[in-house]
Amino acid sequence: MKSVRSESVPVRDKVSRARAELAAALVERDAEVDVVLTALLAGEHVLLVGPPGCGKSLLLDGLLAWAGGRKFSVLLTRFTTPEEVLGPVSLAGLKEDRYVRVTAGKLPEADLAFLDEVLRGSSAVLNCLLKLLNERTFDAGDGVVKKVPLKLCVGAANDWPEPDTGKELSALLDRFTLRKTVAPIRTAAGRQRLLWARDHTPTFSTTVTAAELDDARRAAAAVPWSNDAKEALEQVLRELAREGVHPGDRRQFKTVGVVRAFAYLCGADAVRPEHLEVAQHCLWDDPAGEPEKVAQVIAKVANPCGMRVAQLLLEVEGVLGATDARNLADAARAAAKLGEVERQLAALPAGPRAEAARGYVRDQLKRLKLASLDAV
């Protein structure tokens, strides 16, 4: 990965460049890029769940390549031992009748960790992880509980745990403050980019040191909440309770910091209702059905632009998927619908996501018209 001397670039600009560079390299992963960068800035762990080959590792490896600090990555299987994650037991220690782990290069010494297939770990490994991720402390075996430097753990998994798969997995799921499902590429244009771009590896124009990230975290934690945003969050929680979704107190409190980090990522100097968009990845416990409810409630209460763009794009895909461009009446109906979506996108506050979506809809309109001309 290419990087340039970047000492003179302020950290906030570095973050926003990395956001753009990751989103440009990966196809249809803008939301995931925002989620992982928000997690990095909030110092909260993040889990991405999606089918094999949908770009999770590409994104998470890219993030770790860009961010400075000591790193640890592991692919967990049922056979991975605690030694591989926490470090082997010291032989010298054993000779003196002491049981201590040598943690050099392992999770207890990492600033940033990537646990791939994290839900596959054995009970022994999951139990070790639970404590370390939650309390960010570790006892190497000598009875001294030390703070670990871990700032961010990113996890990936192929499936959400089945309901009733045991306490360990649901406890582990709870350690990740942000959790997002990663869907396969949806649009035809996205698929073209996936197929014909020669390389999807992100290229970064900057790197960022661990100290700079600490500065960014402090600045993000100091972003104030506007009164509107506070009211919106309270209303979201009330409506969720009415819908039977009750995120725990710790999760609610952590969400406040996560939304601050997202506002910082968006370049805002105060949290506004639209920044609640990111809270859809925090405010639920049960992956079956709750994430969708939370997203709907947030979309209704806080009306974030990003969520409206996503909804409109889904509509566009629905229309395109159901249209035979060679049937003129069909094509005309679809064109009218796309025109309407384009107008709605134009009415949204200006921003890169709305702009990109408008460009996409315009391109699709052109293709539709060309295809129907061909058919005549």
Residues at the site binding Mg ion, with contacts judged by CB under 5 A = 57
From the list 28, 30, 212, 277, which residue makes contact with ligand ADP (rule: CB under 6 A)? 28
Do the Cβ atoms of 233 and 56 come closer than 8 Å?
no
Contacts of 74 (CB under 8 A, 6+ apart): 80, 84, 85, 107, 114, 115, 116
From the list 23, 40, 55, 106, which residue makes contact with ligand ADP (rule: CB under 6 A)? 55
Asked if residue 56 binds ligand ADP (CB under 6 A), the reply is: yes
Site map 139..178 versus ligand ADP, x via CB under 6 A: -----------------x----------------------
Closer CB to Mg ion, residue 58 or residue 232? 58
Residue nearest to Mg ion (CB): 57
Q: How far apart are CA 155 and CA 162, in angstroms?
A: 17
Asked if residue 196 binds ligand ADP (CB under 6 A), the reply is: no
Asked if residue 52 binds ligand ADP (CB under 6 A), the reply is: yes
Q: Which amino acid is at 244?
A: G
Which one of ligand ADP, Mg ion, none interacts with residue 244, CB within 5 to 8 A by kind? none
Tokens of 26: 């990966």
Which one of ligand ADP, Mg ion, none interacts with residue 29, CB within 5 to 8 A by kind? ligand ADP
Tokens of 12: 């906030």
Q: For the chain, give me the number of helices (H) and strands (E)?
A: 15, 7
Tokens of 113: 């960790």
From the list 11, 18, 22, 26, which residue makes contact with ligand ADP (rule: CB under 6 A)? 26
Asked if residue 29 binds ligand ADP (CB under 6 A), the reply is: yes
From the list 11, 15, 18, 27, which residue makes contact with ligand ADP (rule: CB under 6 A)? 27
From the list 39, 42, 46, 54, which residue makes contact with ligand ADP (rule: CB under 6 A)? 54
From the list 39, 58, 220, 229, which residue makes contact with ligand ADP (rule: CB under 6 A)? 58
Strands 145-147 and 71-75: unpaired
DSSP state string for 330-373: HHHHHHHHHHHHHHHHHTSPP-HHHHHHHHHHHHHHHHHHHHHH
Q: How many CB atoms lie within 10 A of CB 1?
A: 11
CA-wise closest residue to 180 among 50, 22, 37: 50
Closer CB to Mg ion, residue 57 or residue 181? 57
* Helix (H/G/I), strand (E/B), else coil: 150: coil
CA-wise closest residue to 36 among 10, 6, 3, 58: 58
Q: How far apart are CA 237 and CA 110, in angstroms?
A: 35
Number of residues forming the site for ligand ADP (CB under 6 A): 16
Closer CB to ligand ADP, residue 54 or residue 150? 54
Give the nearest distance from C-beta 214 to ligand ADP in angstroms. Answer: 28
Which one of ligand ADP, Mg ion, none interacts with residue 55, CB within 5 to 8 A by kind? ligand ADP
Closer CB to Mg ion, residue 116 or residue 212? 116
CA-wise closest residue to 263 among 302, 210, 301, 312: 302
Give the nearest distance from C-beta 101 to ligand ADP in angstroms. Answer: 29
Tokens of 10: 């302020």
Which residues 197-216 are close enough to bind ligand ADP by CB under 6 A?
200
Which one of Mg ion, ligand ADP, none interacts with residue 54, CB within 5 to 8 A by kind? ligand ADP
Asked if residue 53 binds ligand ADP (CB under 6 A), the reply is: yes
Q: How far apart are CA 75 and CA 372, in angstroms?
A: 49
Summarize as ranges the residues that interact with ligand ADP (CB under 6 A).
26-29, 50, 52-58, 156, 185, 194, 200
